[in-house]
Amino acid sequence: MTASSAPRPAPAGPPTRHQLALMIWLAVFPTLTVLNVALGDWLSTLAPVTRTFVLATIAVPIVVYGLMPQLHRLRVRLLTRAARGR
């Protein structure tokens, strides 16, 4: 059997609720931490609701468009590697 005719593992399905929760936490916590450190002095002058609005407005696109696709690809790579038995 050649490498090209070796059976392929089934494609990874959607993440479980627990996997998705972990992935979201792994994306959101560091993003908010970096934003708080980088913008902390400026944010401290804002009211709490305004500060939260600013953080969410910046963090959500970073997480949704930048980090979550990377985490989904990493999850698929890890599951595929595990299915192959490496």
Residue 81: per-residue pLDDT: 87
Classified as helix, coil or strand, 15 is coil
pLDDT at 8: 64
The answer, yes or no, to whether residue 3 has pLDDT greater than 60, is no
51 confidence band (pLDDT: 50, 70, 90): very high
What's the pTM value of the predicted model, to 2 decimals?
A: 0.79
- Reported as half-sphere exposure (CB side, CA atoms, 13 A), residue 61 has a value of 4
Burial class (CB in 10 A: 0-12, 13-18, 19+), 63: buried
**pLDDT digits over 10-47, tens only?**
677 899 999 999 999 999 999 999 999 999 999 999 99
19 neighbors 68 (Cβ within 8 angstroms): no
Q: Is the predicted pLDDT of residue 79 greater than 70, yes or no?
A: yes
